[in-house]
A and B are shown apart, each in its own frame.
Chain A
Amino acid sequence: MSKRKADDSHMPIGESISQAQTLLRERLCHQRLPTRPEGVASQHKHLLELLKRTAVHGESNSVLIVGPRGSGKTMLLRCVLAELLTEADVQKTLLQVHLNGLLQTDDRIALKEITRQLSLENVVGDKVFGSFAENLAFLLEALKKGDRSSSRPVLFILDEFDLFAHHKNQTLLYNLLDVSQSAQTPVAVVGLTCRLDVLELLEKRVKSRFSHRQIHLLSSLTFSQYLQVVRAQLQLPDATFPDSKFCHDWNASVKALCEDKSVEEVLQRQFNSTKDFRSLHRLLMVSLCRVSASNPTIKPADLVDASRLFSADSKTNILHGLSILELCLIIAMKHLNDIYDREPFNLQMVYNEFKKFLQRKSHSMYNFDQPVVMKAFEHLQQLEVIRPVDVAATRAQREYQLVRLMLDHTQIMEALQKYPQCPTDIKQWADSAFA
């Protein structure tokens, strides 16, 4: 009750906090474009040049943007496009076609999508085309004989470019690149992919038609720059934000946060593991969620907790919830792994191992008959803690199906440590097979 009263009294803060949340969330979750992409200035320039040539001077072109996931390929492209579209005539003429390898899983669908995005359905109507090439040609032609005589430049953006390479004899790629070679309609083909070996996927004829322009996004951030990025991500814009005082406090707190020792080492760890922005956003997002009326700023602790949340090993989490019996089975498997160095095993062997243990222990707390053990085994299999060696032989007796353990030594031990009220004898057994 008292809490509620407190809320009422802080109402303006609550207001501004939710404002800040809205702003930052859009930034972190929805990839709201930053003013300038960090650390990729050269690539940005290069790409902009290329697209300009198509949009303005009507040259055809093709380029690949290659970089690991979350390295900001899409972000870069969208920045460039935004900048490109600031010019009025470009905005008028330039046509964009966005395709995604995940969505347009084959050329038929892709073509439908292209037609739709060029808003030519009515033109096409229910014509029948002999080949893909014809169809595409017709589309571009249709563009040409729009109201103006000069043909409009078309910009094809293929996200997940590598997936298009899996389409049936790469017709789409072939034709697009072919068009981009021939001097007819000005076409720019921009592919985004995270596979460095993407060119290997292309057929000869396709590859030969590709102007081997590639823009690599291997971010060369130093840690200090990284910190800058973090800070920039969390900063609130003084100009636009309504409550200037809160905004000032917030930014100050952010600055303080970035200078905090613990935070720094957290970020350092993050930085060493991966530089991509997505995982960073994830980290910041979680810590941002902690912010509420009761604690109006991001505390170092929040960030540390968030990082712990991510660094936690999920398998160990799962093990925590198992029953003693299942745990025993896992230990037995561990021993089996030690004996026959990581050869696959079946339930019978595990059960045997387990029984040996029970025989050593006089008290019969855990000796269940086979069906019960079977159930426990099934459960483990369901959790994919163990995997059958060949999935095909499911019809065979489950007792004798060969499986492998998907855990390693340390995970098991860690789980045992964490396990609530784990019996000591089992701990000893886990340590040595003959305890």
Chain B
Amino acid sequence: MAACLQHTGYDQERLLHVSDKLPCRVFQAGTLLSLMGEPSQYSYPSIFLYGHRSTGKSHVVSTLLQELELPHATVSCVECVSAGLMFERVLLALFGPDTTSLLPRSPSLSDFVRIYRQQCPQSPANQTRFIVIEKAELLRDMDANLLPVLLRLQELIEDNVTVILLSEIVWDQFRPNTGCFEPLLLHFPDYSKGDLQQILSQDIHPSYSAELYSAFINILLGVFYSVCRDLRELRHLAALNFSKFCEPLKEGKVKESDTHKLWRNIEPHLKKAMQTVYLREVSSVQWEELQMEEKESGAMKGLSAHAHVELPYYSKFLLIAAYLASYNPARTDRRFFLKHHGKIRKTNFLKKHEKTSNHLLGPKPFPLDRLLAIFYSVVDSRVAPTASIFSQISSLVTLQLLTQLGHDDQLDAPKYKCAVALDFIRAISRTVNFDIVKYLYDFL
């Protein structure tokens, strides 16, 4: 370890141990520790840690608190559907199970503070108590007073307590309009390339040498660092591609020392993986399968490759009609769908002033009647307006291929939007050999 924590308040051995557990985060941990001070000393009422996902926010905090055996409660706002749940968690962690029974159902902040105060003297506060709140950004959606109270909890409870908020979002987005007690901001910067190298190299494959693995990681970072710095994602990618990387070794073609060959072997695969970075399409197993079959068929395939959807014949046309309805201006329908539309010259019918195309602005809502009108004119045979036609529309909605706007009271005419992309609808209309581009206003 390069640096190492030290603080007069704590046992040096322990700190050493802790700093081993926090690679590349010793500095942040040090700052935090110095803010927390010695257990007996007062600490700042509220500290706000922010930084990107997987920059070790909660890891650092939890490791510190656990290793140094400080009294603390950790809650995640995702889990706390109600404030009451959060209170209960906190009390449970700080004062043991029997206290939670004191809480009334749907407790108010006042109840929480009251009970906390009651408990304090019984378990004397010779140490600072810590309340860690993860995903703090969700606090904003909860009770409006919750955040301000937590920020100045120390003052309200008159106990040596510190609230640590963790979030990916900057503090400016939190501040309520009447202002509040300002917490101490602490930024967790993202890992540098070196840090990533160091961290990723730690999970070594048992059957290969550490050098090899770190070499692999080095290659990986070389390709991906520019586009992806998320530690989690990188680890995922490493797990995906390592076996591929080792293939020539297994076959005994190349020896470990020959990094260049290995690189030339893996590089194309990484390039391919580039296309699906962040998508999390395939688990490692299937990835390998794909690599296999992709030997025969040139193209790289992920989940998105099977984008094709089988639909009943009329559903296809309904979807096409919906697409046309939501991407064509209503006034152009006559020209497209009337057999003998009188004298609508292409010139005067194309309006120049519409500068941005509808495919940039996205689909427009349309009423059911228009959808059906277009449907009947595009579908080749004549179709009876049977119940199943309408049920198909609603099932398209449940499949999220259409979206219904507003309340779904069928009595007053509902409006819909088409929720599929151009490529998708192209593929669909190809199967029923309907040339949709001829009917799209944007492509005239």
Contacts and interface: CB of A to CB of B under 8 A. Distances in A.
Contacts of B389: none
B335 to A, nearest CB: 25
A211 interface: no
Of the four ranges (under 10, 10 to 19, 20 to 34, 35 or more), the interface on chain A belongs to: 35 or more
A25 interface: yes
Contacts of B145: 102-103, 105, 163
Contact of B419 (A102, A292, A397): A397
Interface string A1-42: 001100100000010011001100110111100000000000
Interface residues of B, number: 74
Contacts of A376: 278
Interface of B is mostly: loop
A292 B187 contact: no
A312 interface: yes
A293 B227 CA distance: 44
Contact of B278 (A317, A375, A382): A375
Contact of B184 (A26, A105, A282): A282
A214 interface: no
B192 interface: yes
Contacts of A30: 42, 154-155, 160
Interface stretch (A43-51, A215-223, A224-232, A321-329): A321-329
Nearest to A15: B8
A323 B362 contact: no
Nearest to B12: A4
B270 to A, nearest CB: 13
B370 interface: no
Given A7-B8, A105-B108, A113-B110, A314 B228 contact: no
Interface stretch (A128-136, A173-181, A345-353): A345-353
B179 A194 contact: yes
B42 A26 contact: yes
A147 interface: no
A103 B156 contact: yes
Contacts of B50: 314, 317-318
A104 interface: yes
B55 interface: yes
Nearest to B307: A371
A384 interface: yes
Interface in B363-397: 363
Interface in B152-204: 154-156, 160, 168-173, 178-182, 184-185, 187, 189-190, 192-193
A310 interface: yes
A397 B359 CA distance: 12
A279 B182 contact: yes
B156 A383 contact: no
A279 B180 CA distance: 12
A278 interface: yes
Contacts of B172: 314-315
Contacts of A396: 362, 403, 417, 419
Contact of A372 (B6, B41, B275): B275
B286 interface: no
A324 B42 contact: no
Nearest to B423: A370
A29 B45 contact: yes
A52 to B, nearest CB: 25
B43 interface: yes
A279 B278 CA distance: 41
B235 interface: no
B52 A348 contact: no
A97 B38 CA distance: 34
A69 interface: yes
A299 interface: no
Interface string A319-343: 0111111000000000000000000
Contact of A21 (B38, B114, B274): B38
Given A7-B8, A22-B40, A314-B185, A195 B193 contact: no
B9 interface: yes
B427 interface: no
B51 interface: yes
B359 A21 contact: no
A369 B423 CA distance: 13
Given A31-B155, A195-B178, A289-B37, A314 B171 contact: yes
A368 interface: yes
A346 B45 contact: no
A3 B6 contact: yes
Interface in B335-381: 356, 359-363
Interface string B88-112: 0000000000000000000011110
B410 interface: no
B8 A321 contact: no
Contact of A278 (B8, B40, B182, B421): B182
Contacts of A383: 52, 168-169
A187 B403 CA distance: 62
Contacts of A423: 226
Interface string B44-82: 110000111001000000000000000000000000000
A375 B279 contact: yes
B42 A29 contact: yes
B277 interface: yes
B229 interface: yes
Given A29-B154, A195-B178, A321 B190 contact: yes
Contacts of B9: 18
A321 B110 contact: no
15 contacts: A14-B8, A17-B8, A21-B41, A25-B41, A100-B156, A102-B148, A103-B149, A105-B143, A162-B178, A279-B182, A282-B184, A314-B50, A320-B189, A383-B168, A397-B362
Q: Which 9 A-B pairs have the closest CB atoms?
A: A400-B362, A321-B190, A289-B34, A314-B170, A375-B278, A321-B52, A103-B110, A25-B42, A29-B42
Given A29-B43, A109-B111, 16 more contacts: A103-B109, A103-B156, A292-B6, A310-B185, A322-B229, A323-B229, A324-B226, A325-B227, A349-B356, A368-B227, A368-B274, A372-B275, A376-B278, A382-B168, A384-B169, A397-B417
